[in-house]
Amino acid sequence: MNVAELLVKCLEREGVEYVFGVPGEENIDLMDAFSDSDIDFIVTHHETSAAFMAATYGRLTGDPGVCLATLGPGATNLMTGVANANMDHAPLVAITGQAGLDRHHKISHQYYDLINMYEPVTKWNAQIKSGEITPEVVRKAFQVAGQEKWGATHIDLPENVASLEIDETTPLMTNERPHTKAHEGVIEQAVNMIEQAENPLILAGNGISRQQATEEFRTFVQKVHIPVVHSFMGKGALSWEDNLSLLTAGIGGNDYITCGFNKADLILTVGFDMAEYPPKNWNRSNTPIIHMDTEEAETDANYPAALNVLGDISENLRQLGQNIQNANRDAKWAANIREQALNELESFRDDAHFPVKPQKIISDLRAVLNEDDIAISDVGAHKMWMARMYHTYQPNTCLISNGLASMGVAVPSAIAAKMVHPERHVVAVCGDGSFQMTGAELETAKRLELPIIVLMWRDGGYGLIEWHQVKKFDRASYIKFGNPDYQQLAGSYGFEVMTITKTDELKSALEKAVAMNKPVFIDCPVDYSENMKLTEKLGNIIC
């Protein structure tokens, strides 16, 4: 047995189902070892896509997804997706091939020190310099990636180590992750603060779904009767149909939800990651905060954490709910905020303007998809609209990357989501700019026979950047590009292609795509003049 074969056996012990990646010369021993394994190696067209897929697999299963690249450009391509996973707190283990140890002391073909390069974008990384340490390195990589807060780890395997013969070695056993809870005195202090607050507000973040605390969170909210605002990545912690849901915050300006923050005299953040939404955008009055998470609050001038309630979120929510007695507060102040936000989407349900307005696209998409179907938003102007107006019933049914927020994430992520949940409809919501970054993965979806739906908002430019440019300079610069014939492009990959030529075609196209159970590409022109109209509207909202 060589070291590469041992590493694959260690991956099997960790329960790995898939490895996503691109083969190369320096990882051919690993590729050969996968041939004799039950692990499915998913060949992708770009290493960044492989990391996006692994991260989404990790986010939806709770088990670290695994991605692989060769050295040099393969490893640097992979790094963007690894950094994205780490900042989004998705569990991921990245494996890179590397030049032999005999080349590390000098300038050498495709050689870079990957341990130092990956150090800032991972929780932990290590190089396997001798075969004997392989079980320890793999076990630690998975252990650290899966510890709170989830994130990315990295294993670097030099080619001359990978091919070394080694005595039969046993992979290490996996172990249970410890659960901790807040001290009773901390819970008592939190209870007192919540009971004394007149207008408390909850900000629900990514950690609720990450900790599988949705049930406990909903029970707690109903007990204390406190309105809930969601971050982009916390969407679905409370169903949008619940009267206590103030939907989603995160877009700039005085949105309706900002009025809720301004009204609050205490903010309880639950599983909130600061990279999701800068506190200066929502806590302008420096309202005191109870920070409930697995780690202490990040230091921020606009995030005055009066109390840290640390440990297992489910357990701490249970303790809080059991100890709070004064729960008969009036939350009517939030009803008007909720009504205005909901009415905005409803008002576009029958809009016939063409190109299609963002609000209408979202209205039709929400009307067609089931409660547990998955919509994955790429990064761009469409992301802001999806975050603000695509309302969710369950967590992890609208996936939005909002840490590193790398463009091109949606199509690869839709592939992984469909692999994890084949029983659900999965829609990748892309702009034409973000789609063209990873669009070659349409072939991957077709090859794997995954009936994903790609809904592309086409405007021929980088719409989000244009939005910011016009806001600041009253003009746009260098944001336009050309598009291919998507009927031919997506069709050549084996996708059924639908091009929207009238607004009333969109909903029926989505219904048809859902019913077809095959890969479908929908090309939908979008009217982004709505961006500046929204900016003006938000500027006129008075809290």
Q: What is the DSSP letter of 51?
A: H
Tens-digit pLDDT profile for residues 323-359: 998 776 777 778 888 888 788 778 888 999 999 999 9
* Selection from 39, 18, 108 nearest residue 72 by Cα: 108
* Selection from 504, 218, 480 nearest residue 349 by Cα: 504
The 3-class SS string of 145-211 reads HHCCCCCEEEEEEEHHHHCCECCCCCCCCCCCCCCCCCCHHHHHHHHHHHHHCCCEEEEECCHHHHC
> What CATH number belongs to 347-540?
3.40.50.970
- Let me know if domain 3-162 sits in CATH 3.40.50.970: yes
Q: Distance (Å, rounded) from C-alpha 105 to C-alpha 109?
A: 12
Q: What is the pLDDT of residue 437?
A: 97
Asked whether this chain's domains 3-162 and 184-334 adopt the same fold, the reply is: yes
Q: What is the pLDDT of residue 259?
A: 74
Q: What is the pTM of this model?
A: 0.95
Q: Distance (Å, rounded) from C-alpha 519 to C-alpha 31?
A: 28
pLDDT of the chain along its 543 residues, tens only? 999 999 999 999 999 999 999 999 999 999 999 999 999 999 999 999 999 999 999 999 999 999 999 999 999 999 999 999 999 999 999 999 998 888 888 888 888 999 999 999 999 999 999 999 999 999 999 999 999 999 999 999 999 999 999 988 889 988 877 778 999 999 999 999 999 999 999 999 999 999 999 999 999 999 999 999 999 999 999 999 999 999 998 776 667 777 788 889 999 999 999 888 889 988 988 999 999 999 999 999 999 999 999 999 999 999 999 999 877 677 777 888 888 878 877 888 899 999 999 999 999 999 999 999 999 999 999 999 999 899 999 999 999 998 899 999 999 999 999 999 999 999 999 999 999 999 999 999 999 999 999 999 999 999 999 999 998 999 999 999 999 999 999 999 999 999 999 999 999 999 999 999 999 999 999 999 988 888 777 766 655
How does 66-77 read in b/e, with b if 16+ C-beta sit within 10 Å? Answer: bbbbbbbebbbb
Q: What is the pLDDT of residue 345?
A: 72
Q: Distance (Å, rounded) from C-alpha 1 to C-alpha 167?
A: 7
* Selection from 80, 58, 76, 208 nearest residue 145 by Cα: 58
Q: Write down the domain spans for the chain.
A: 3-162, 184-334, 347-540
Assigned superfamily of 184-334: TPP-binding domain (3.40.50.1220)
Q: Are 258 and 282 in contact (CB under 8 A)?
A: yes
456 φ/ψ angles, rounded to the nearest 5 degrees: -100, 125
Q: For the sheet with 200-204, list strands across it.
A: 245-248, 228-230, 200-204, 266-270, 289-293, 305-310
* Selection from 263, 265, 261 nearest residue 248 by Cα: 261
Residue 217 sits at the vertex; the CA angle it makes with 214 and 218, to the nearest 5 degrees, is 85
Cα–chain-centroid distance for residue 50? 15
**3-state secondary structure (DSSP) of residue 525:** strand
